[in-house]
């Protein structure tokens, strides 16, 4: 039974990671298309116009200035291409993902503060996103709250996530629910620390070591 439950937890983790990964890819593709279709096309058009001007220009000084402008625009075009390519790396925008999760949470007001300067790695980011989703789900089910505070902080050797609401927890048992076991398993895999408290509201405290 324990092995079956562990497999269920792992299946849930894999499913959540896949959903986050797909959402990230879709957002990167959207941004890349917008950059390519708008900024890229405008730069391409400008380069063609400058090329046409240079082909008919007889003034040497004007040709030099146009050549400098063309080089600047070409550099900008190369930077645009690099930016589009960089959108396809394996990085995940943790802050953007959490902001989207919070924006879609309509149960009560959410105060979100993120002071991280050095982004966590992909597995840590997936863990934070999943834990925030699960915590907000538990707040809907078990807490009569009107406000939730989510703090994401960085320390020299670790990242820290604190989720706390101002409600009263009812009908809650931390020993039940695959979602809570999923949270604990994620943190354990990343050699972190998880604490859940239900005094004066529902609170989740997570710390993950920097790697």
pLDDT tens-digit readout, 80-110 = 776 766 665 555 788 988 998 999 898 999 9
Q: Note whether 115 and 83 are same-domain residues.
A: no
CATH number at residue 173: 3.30.565.10
Q: Which of 37, 63, 88 is at the close of a domain?
A: 88
Kindly state the average pLDDT of the residues 14-29.
70
Kindly state the average pLDDT of the residues 10-14.
67
Q: Note whether 112 and 31 are same-domain residues.
A: no
- Residue 153 has a CB neighbour count (10 Å cut-off) of 14
- Composition of the chain by helix, strand, coil, percent to 5: 60, 15, 25
What is the per-residue pLDDT for 128? 94
Q: Note whether 36 and 73 are same-domain residues.
A: yes
- Residue 197 has a CB neighbour count (10 Å cut-off) of 13
State the Cα–Cα distance between residues 3 and 130, nearest whole angstrom.
22
State the Cα–Cα distance between residues 191 and 173, nearest whole angstrom.
24
Q: Note whether 8 and 105 are same-domain residues.
A: no
Q: Which of 88, 113, 148 is at the close of a domain?
A: 88
Looking at the DSSP bridge assignments, the partners of residue 109 are 147
Kindly state the average pLDDT of the residues 132-138.
89
What is the torsion angle, in degrees rounded to the nearest 10, for the CA atoms of residue 85, residue 88, residue 92 and residue 93?
A: 40
What is the per-residue pLDDT for 206? 97
Q: What residues make up the domain containing 142?
A: 94-209
Considering only residues 6 and 43, tell me which one the structure prediction assigns the higher pLDDT. Answer: 43
- Residue 54 has a CB neighbour count (10 Å cut-off) of 14
- Using 50, 70 and 90 to split pLDDT, how confident is the model at 155? very high
Q: Output the six-digit token pair for 186.
A: 């994620």
- Using 50, 70 and 90 to split pLDDT, how confident is the model at 9? low
What is the per-residue pLDDT for 153? 94
187 touches 193 (CB < 8 A)? yes
Domain count, the chain: 2
For 167-194, what is each residue's pLDDT tens digit?
887 766 665 556 678 888 889 999 999 9
What is the per-residue pLDDT for 111? 96
Q: Which of 53, 88, 123 is at the close of a domain?
A: 88
Looking at the DSSP bridge assignments, the partners of residue 8 are none
3-state DSSP assignment of residue 83:
helix
- Using 50, 70 and 90 to split pLDDT, how confident is the model at 157? very high
- Using 50, 70 and 90 to split pLDDT, how confident is the model at 195? very high
């Amino acid at each position: 039974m324990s092995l079956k439950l562990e497999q269920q937890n792992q299946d849930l983790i894999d499913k959540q990671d896949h959903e986050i990964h797909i959402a990230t890819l879709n957002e990167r593709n959207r941004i890349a298309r917008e950059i390519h279709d708008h900024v890229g096309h405008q730069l391409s058009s400008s380069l063609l116009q400058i090329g046409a001007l240079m082909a008919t220009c007889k003034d040497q000084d004007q040709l030099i200035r146009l050549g400098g402008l063309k080089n600047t625009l070409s550099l900008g075009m190369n930077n645009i291409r690099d930016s589009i390519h960089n959108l396809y790396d394996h990085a995940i925008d943790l802050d953007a993902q959490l902001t989207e999760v919070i924006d879609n949470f309509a149960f009560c007001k959410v105060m979100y503060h993120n002071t991280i300067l050095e982004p966590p790695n992909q597995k840590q980011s997936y863990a934070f996103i999943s834990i925030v989703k699960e915590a907000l789900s538990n707040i809907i089910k078990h807490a009569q709250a009107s406000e939730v505070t989510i703090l994401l902080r960085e320390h020299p050797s670790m990242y820290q996530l604190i989720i706390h609401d101002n409600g009263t927890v009812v009908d809650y048992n931390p020993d039940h629910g695959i979602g809570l076991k999923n949270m604990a398993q994620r943190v354990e895999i990343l050699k972190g620390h998880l604490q859940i408290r239900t005094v004066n509201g529902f609170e989740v405290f997570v710390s993950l070591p920097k790697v």
